[in-house]
Amino acid sequence: MRTAFKIVLVLLSFIPLYYGCLGLFFGAELANEGLPVSAAMDNQYRYVCAYYLSLTAFTWWVLADIDDPARVTAFRIAIGFVFLGGLARAYSYMTVGTPAPTDISGMYLELIAPILLYFHNKIAKSSGPAVP
């Protein structure tokens, strides 16, 4: 089960890696269907994309030892932040309007992210090798 969990985390980590690189290098205009955006919006967008890249690096750090108590705590906090981001997207969806389909997909993934905590808890309680 540890190996399957790690595979899922690796696959999920490619999502913020992809969008982080895309946003960092191409900016908010690309996400805005090619329409111009203000310098402030582009600046903020690229800043947030750097956090996406940080989330990828963080996920890979957790994967190095998913049984380490310090990493478990950090992972749980990070999942809480991801969930909070999903709530923020849901609020925007309800108050501002429908975003792009990829943003809706991201919102759903962020809102179900706490499921990862359930599976990680099962792994922590199971016997077996810590690696892989």
Question: What sign does the CA torsion over 34, 35, 36, 39 have?
Answer: negative
The pTM (predicted TM-score) of the whole model is 0.86
CA distance readout (Å), 68 to 32, 56, 64, 129: 41, 18, 9, 13
12 alpha carbon, distance to own chain's centre: 7
Q: Give the whole-angstrom CA distance, residue 25 versus residue 7.
A: 27
Identify the CA nearest to 86 among candidates 52, 111, 50: 111
Query: Would you say how long the chain is, in residues?
Result: 132
Are the C-beta atoms of 45 and 23 separated by less than 8 Å? yes
Taking the CA atoms of the chain, what radius of gyration do you get in angstroms? 16
Peptide bond into 114 cis (omega under 30): no
Residue pLDDT, tens place only, 3-44: 899 999 999 999 999 999 999 999 999 888 889 999 999 999
Which residues, other chains included, contact 16 with Cβ-Cβ below 8 Å and sequence gap of 6+? 52, 53, 55, 56, 59
pLDDT of residue 126: 75
Element (H, E) at 35: none
Identify the CA nearest to 84 among candidates 60, 55, 122: 55
Residue pLDDT, tens place only, 61-87: 999 988 888 999 999 999 999 999 999
pLDDT at 58 > cutoff 70: yes
